[in-house]
């Protein structure tokens, strides 16, 4: 009986150790992908991720059946802080000018913080069912958030409502910051003026 219990304990300890090693390996690959993305590699391959994580390519595909499953794991790892920065920051009370200042400051900070991840998602979504669905979901949630924050948007004609959504999009932010070379404060000022003209009575 004692030998049986000892044997069961050994098997349990072995399985627990293997599970912990597997979890560490999984996390190291997710961390490696995020590091590569932050360094500007917006489409890291499984080989590049494995090399950065210090594991073999076979280990990668033992953990993840394909890149879509890997992207889903990265999303699960990052989604909490991503949505926290957009949905639970900023002051949503007050007159229109105060709310405009608040939403712009919040979105600017979130866009800057998650810039690399958003660019990677945009770069890879054409080839990934998971990333395409994630980006569409982000657009829907973000739009609803904007219209709760600025209910004046909902009162606009449909074409101007689309314009308001575009002004507060990552695509607009990316163009102003990275393509046109504006500073963060200058980009906020441009968008603020455009939204103020659009929403003011």
In angstroms, the CA 34 to CA 19 distance is 23
Contact status, residue 48 vs residue 36, Cβ threshold 8 Å: yes
Q: What is the CATH number of domain 1-64?
A: 1.10.10
Contact status, residue 138 vs residue 188, Cβ threshold 8 Å: no
Ramachandran angles phi, psi of 73, nearest 5°: -70, -40
pLDDT (tens digit per residue) in 121-178? 888 888 899 899 988 988 999 999 999 999 999 999 999 999 999 999 999 999 999 9
pLDDT (tens digit per residue) in 71-123? 999 988 888 788 888 888 888 899 999 999 999 999 999 999 999 999 998 88
As separate numbers, helices (DSSP H) first and strands (DSSP E) second, the chain gives 10, 0
pLDDT of residue 108: 95
Matching residue, tokens 């889903």: 72
Nearest in space to 18 (alpha carbons), one of 63, 75, 64: 63
Contact status, residue 150 vs residue 100, Cβ threshold 8 Å: yes
More confidently predicted of 21 and 50: 50
Task: Return the CA Rg of the chain.
Answer: 22
C-alpha to C-alpha distances, 179 to 52, 119, 174, nearest whole angstrom: 30, 13, 7
Token pair listed for 57: 């390519």
In angstroms, the CA 186 to CA 100 distance is 15
Token pair listed for 84: 């926290």
Q: Is residue 183 over pLDDT 80?
A: yes
DSSP, res 56 = -
More confidently predicted of 164 and 1: 164
In angstroms, the CA 129 to CA 61 distance is 18
Ramachandran angles phi, psi of 168, nearest 5°: -100, 25
pLDDT of residue 5: 54
Token pair listed for 155: 């009162």
In angstroms, the CA 96 to CA 77 distance is 35
Q: Is residue 14 over pLDDT 50?
A: no
């Amino acid at each position: 009986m004692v030998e049986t219990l000892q044997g069961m304990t050994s098997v349990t300890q072995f399985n627990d150790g293997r599970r912990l090693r597997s979890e560490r390996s999984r996390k190291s690959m997710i961390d490696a992908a995020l590091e590569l993305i932050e360094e500007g590699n917006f489409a890291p391959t499984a080989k590049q991720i494995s090399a950065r994580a210090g594991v073999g390519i076979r280990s990668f595909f033992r953990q993840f059946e394909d890149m879509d499953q890997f992207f889903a794991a990265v999303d699960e790892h990052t989604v909490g802080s991503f949505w926290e920065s957009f949905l639970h920051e900023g002051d949503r009370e007050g007159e229109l000018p105060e709310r405009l200042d608040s939403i712009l400051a919040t979105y600017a900070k979130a866009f800057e913080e998650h810039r690399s991840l958003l660019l990677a998602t945009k770069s890879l979504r054409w080839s990934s069912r998971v990333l395409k669905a994630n980006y569409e979901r982000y657009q829907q949630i973000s739009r609803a958030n904007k219209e709760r924050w600025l209910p004046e948007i909902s009162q606009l004609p449909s074409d101007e409502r689309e314009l308001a959504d575009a002004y507060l999009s990552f695509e607009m932010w990316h163009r102003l910051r990275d393509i046109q070379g504006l500073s963060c404060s200058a980009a906020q000022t441009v968008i603020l003026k455009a939204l103020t003209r659009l929403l003011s009575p």
